[in-house]
Amino acid sequence: MPGLSNTVKITEDGQYILATGIYKPRIKCFDVNNLAMKFERCFDSEAVTFELLSTDYSKFVILQCDRYVEFHSQEGRYYRLRVPKFGHDMKYHPPTCDLFIAGKSSDIFRLNLDRGQFLNPFASSVGSEINKLALNPSHNLLLTGTKEGRIEAWDPRVHVSVGILDCALNSITNSTNISSDAFPSITALEFENALTFGVGTANGQILLYDIRSNKPFRVKDHLFGLPIKSLAFQDDNVLSMDSSSVKIWNQNSGKLFVALESGNDTQFNNLCIIPQTGILFIANESTKIQTYYIPSLGPAPKWCGFLDTLVEELAEINQETVYDDYKFVTRSELEELGLSHLIGTNLLKAYMHGYFVDIRLYRKSKSVIEPFAFEQYRKQKVREKIESNRINRVQVKKLPSINKEFALKLINDEREGKKNKITTSLLKDDRFKALFENPDFQVDPNAEEYKLLNPILKRLDKSKQKEIEGVIQKQFHQVEDEIEGSSSSSSEENNDGYSSDDNDQSWTKELKSEYRAAKYRRIEAERDEVMKSENIFNVKDNIDSDLNKIQPKFYEIKEGEEFVGSNNNQLNSTNNSSATLGERIISENFNSVKILSSGNRQLTFSTNKDKNYQKTSMAIEKHRNEKLSIVRKGPTNLRKPKFYTGPKSKNFYKKKN
């Protein structure tokens, strides 16, 4: 349900389960054969209870909290009407087709579904408000439970009251404290068979009656003081439910069998048990309807027979026999003890790949075969005692053969208390054992990536010996003579005077020199590739590993000279000032080779074809300009319009004459 579930019931044929809940108010039908929901219907008001009119889900009626009664068929809602008073409970009487509705009044309304009209109600004289109804299918006796704690029996055949039972007096004992909030009103009512029925009160008591007696034969108290909401019977067991628990107890002895508690997260609303089975459903104040299977109450239904298989598997408890007075020996050990001839007798018990032998027999055989075993035992104890006295000595843990520097760094971090559980657990975790055992994971300190990305490890290489010596000095007493002691003390003073600032500066210089050396190695490799591709020089046989020799050369310009570039084909100083920017770029980059860091080459040059093409284009342009200058232009004042219409002015003829 979206919010909570109110009631849950199972059809008479046992094939469908119907449950109501909120919010939005709705009813859901579940098909047990397919283990799925068959349909879901919503309505306007919250359902108080519902009653099944047929053996399946095709006909049912819902009593709502706003006095409406809805009739549903297989297709959906069939009809909706309103009752005079707010309803608490209702029951359907199949022989007469009467629907009994009880609520906040002393009248029991009768709605005849065959005639489709209300009949004269049953007027109760023992209470002002009726809480519960119960109808016996054997003799059709109708019981009504009132707010005043009384039960009235009605015979639907003659429409008269046949008996009155006061349950409030029977539930009160000398130790019962009655208050206005805990008056023993009737809150639950259920028939077990034709003669026995159970009554639940508002103060948490259950009374079992025989209809032939006016006194209960069994009274059970939940001891919670909460109203009993539902009652059910299964064989000789009674299932009683309040908002906090469901208790299953024997109706003959009253002994508790099992109790199901709701906990702090939810409260129970309604109880439904499948007849002749051990499955029960509990509607509660949560989204899911709680389902329990108790094999002691009965077997699982046919549609969930797999539960019996699970119970049988859980019931098969493998009780392992523990032989405290026996010693396990293999067949080879048995032959060494000389007891192999006892195989097959009661003195040996076969177990797995060996045998169990009595510890007394084992000790006797051991003493016969090894007479000096006690002497060896004594030596072993002496050795253990000596080793225990050596605990205060330095116990140096052996470093792994692979990645010693990395292991030393992890140990150093753990000793300094760095809060990094991932790195400190590498030495202890078996998943990373290959990191310190497999040579394929060996870190190469000479690799360029290692030197550039992990310079701190290189710094650790120089200081690890100093750290080890410091640890040893803390754990050992100094036993050197005076000369060695003086030298060591002077070295300690020098080490103490060595400031952290000097360490940082030296480490920064080493890091910069490492970057410069890497740059020179990369340039040298690119030069070697260029020389090999152009076949200008032979491949060098011996490459000098000392990178400190590769240093840049610096030159100083003489006084009065001006730097004009490194190329020979340069414009002179007079032409350089009048040359354009493009000519300067071409002259500076003429026949120059660019070495890129990626190893490719870029060459800029000009061919004779381009020069001839440029001369030809310039000659053509000059010839075109000459032709344009030679062409004579015609007079513009004698031009006539396209269509001549004669002289435009009259003075034209006068001037001509």
Q: Tokens for 422?
A: 């991932």
Q: How far is CA 362 from CA 357, 464, 597, 612, in A?
A: 7, 55, 81, 114
Q: What is the pLDDT of residue 541?
A: 46
Least trusted range by pLDDT, from 27-31, 50-54, 518-522? 518-522
Q: Tokens for 306?
A: 């797999």
**Rounded Cα gap, residues 522 and 527, in angstroms:** 9
For CA atoms 299, 304, 309, 315, the dihedral sign is negative
| Per-residue DSSP letter, 423 | H
Average pLDDT rounded to a whole number, residues 410-423: 64
Q: Does 477 score more than 60 pLDDT?
A: no
Q: Which helix (H) or strand (E) holds 64?
A: strand 60-64
- The answer to whether the beta carbons of residues 628 and 643 sit under 8 Å apart is no
Q: Which is more confidently placed, 291 or 578?
A: 291
Residue type, 412: N
* Alpha carbon 307 to chain centroid, angstroms: 28
Q: Is the peptide bond before 24 cis (omega within 30 degrees of 0)?
A: yes
- Secondary structure E strands in 68-116: 68-72, 77-82, 87-93, 98-103, 107-112
Average pLDDT rounded to a whole number, residues 277-306: 90
Q: Does 98 score more than 60 pLDDT?
A: yes
**Rounded Cα gap, residues 60 and 213, in angstroms:** 35
Q: Does 174 score more than 70 pLDDT?
A: no
47 half-sphere exposure, CB direction, 13 A CA radius: 30
Q: Tell me where in the chain the CATH 2.130.10.10 domain(s) lie.
A: 4-315
With H, G, I as helix, E, B as strand and everything else as coil, classify residue 413. Answer: helix
**Rounded Cα gap, residues 63 and 306, in angstroms:** 36
Q: Which is more confidently placed, 626 or 448?
A: 626
Q: What is the pLDDT of residue 634?
A: 56
Q: How many CB atoms lie within 10 A of CB 210?
A: 12
User: Residue 553: phi, psi to the nearest 5?
Assistant: -100, 135
Q: What is the pLDDT of residue 423?
A: 56
pLDDT digits (tens, 9 = 90+) for 208-251: 999 998 899 989 988 888 999 999 999 889 999 999 999 999 99
With H, G, I as helix, E, B as strand and everything else as coil, classify residue 102. Answer: strand
Least trusted range by pLDDT, from 63-72, 394-403, 640-649? 640-649
Average pLDDT rounded to a whole number, residues 192-208: 91
Q: Does 420 score more than 60 pLDDT?
A: no
Q: Does 505 score more than 70 pLDDT?
A: no
Q: Can you say whether residue 598 is alpha, beta or left, with left for phi > 0 and alpha for psi between -120 and 50 degrees?
A: alpha
Least trusted range by pLDDT, from 391-395, 531-535, 588-592? 588-592
Q: Which residues contact 30 (CB under 8 A, 6 or more apart)?
A: 16, 17, 18, 19, 36, 37, 38
Per-residue confidence band for 578, with pLDDT thresholds at 50, 70 and 90:
low
Q: What is the pLDDT of residue 235?
A: 87
Q: Does 49 score more than 90 pLDDT?
A: yes
Q: Which helix (H) or strand (E) holds 453?
A: helix 448-453
260 has which bridge partners? 246
pLDDT digits (tens, 9 = 90+) for 526-559: 877 777 665 544 444 444 444 445 556 566 666 6
* Alpha carbon 75 to chain centroid, angstroms: 43
pLDDT digits (tens, 9 = 90+) for 346-384: 888 888 888 888 888 888 888 888 777 777 778 888 888
With H, G, I as helix, E, B as strand and everything else as coil, classify residue 23. Answer: coil
**Rounded Cα gap, residues 151 and 133, in angstroms:** 10
- The answer to whether the beta carbons of residues 211 and 200 sit under 8 Å apart is no
For domain 4-315, give its CATH number from 3.30.70.890, 3.40.50.150, 2.130.10.10, 2.115.10.20: 2.130.10.10
Share of the chain above pLDDT 90, in %: 26
Q: Which of 287, 284, 290 has its CA nearest to residue 268?
A: 284
- The answer to whether the beta carbons of residues 144 and 108 sit under 8 Å apart is yes
Average pLDDT rounded to a whole number, residues 494-517: 63
Q: What is the pLDDT of residue 486?
A: 42
| Alpha helices by DSSP H, 535-596 | 573-578, 581-588
Per-residue confidence band for 197, with pLDDT thresholds at 50, 70 and 90:
very high
Average pLDDT rounded to a whole number, residues 8-23: 92
**pTM of the prediction?**
0.49
Q: How far is CA 276 from CA 259, 289, 299, 318, in A?
A: 20, 20, 8, 31
- The answer to whether the beta carbons of residues 436 and 400 sit under 8 Å apart is yes
Q: What is the pLDDT of residue 64?
A: 92
- The answer to whether the beta carbons of residues 167 and 186 sit under 8 Å apart is yes
Q: What is the pLDDT of residue 326?
A: 85
**Rounded Cα gap, residues 480 and 497, in angstroms:** 23
- The answer to whether the beta carbons of residues 555 and 566 sit under 8 Å apart is no
- Secondary structure E strands in 156-243: 160-166, 186-191, 196-201, 205-210, 218-221, 230-234, 237-241
602 has which bridge partners? 594
Map tokens 């499948």 to a residue: 274
Query: Whole-number mean pLDDT of the chain?
Result: 77
Q: What is the 3-state secondary structure (H, E, C) of 123-153?
A: ECCCCCCEEEEEECCCCCCEEEEECCCEEEE
Average pLDDT rounded to a whole number, residues 510-538: 71
Q: Tokens for 335?
A: 């032959």
Least trusted range by pLDDT, from 62-71, 495-504, 636-645? 495-504
Q: Can you say whether residue 338 is alpha, beta or left, with left for phi > 0 and alpha for psi between -120 and 50 degrees?
A: left
Per-residue confidence band for 504, with pLDDT thresholds at 50, 70 and 90:
low
Q: Which helix (H) or strand (E) holds 121?
A: strand 117-123
Least trusted range by pLDDT, from 198-212, 293-307, 582-596? 582-596
Q: Does 59 score more than 90 pLDDT?
A: yes
Q: Does 112 score more than 60 pLDDT?
A: yes
Q: Does 67 score more than 70 pLDDT?
A: yes
Per-residue confidence band for 46, with pLDDT thresholds at 50, 70 and 90:
very high
Q: Does 278 score more than 70 pLDDT?
A: yes
User: Residue 11: phi, psi to the nearest 5?
Assistant: -70, 165
- Range from 277-286, 498-507, 536-545 that averages highest in pLDDT: 277-286
**Rounded Cα gap, residues 49 and 37, in angstroms:** 20
With H, G, I as helix, E, B as strand and everything else as coil, classify residue 604. Answer: strand
In the chain the first and final C-alpha atoms are separated, in Å, by 122
**Rounded Cα gap, residues 472 and 451, in angstroms:** 30
Taking 3-state DSSP, the helix, strand and coil percentages for the chain, each rounded to the nearest 5, stand at 30, 30, 40
Q: What is the pLDDT of residue 595?
A: 56
| Per-residue DSSP letter, 427 | T
Q: Tokens for 470?
A: 């410091």
Q: Does 282 score more than 70 pLDDT?
A: yes
Average pLDDT rounded to a whole number, residues 498-508: 59
pLDDT digits (tens, 9 = 90+) for 333-355: 888 888 888 888 888 888 888 88
Q: Tokens for 112?
A: 């005849």
Q: Which residues contact 424 (CB under 8 A, 6 or more apart)?
A: 410, 413, 414, 418
Q: Tokens for 249?
A: 């107890």
**Rounded Cα gap, residues 52 and 45, in angstroms:** 19
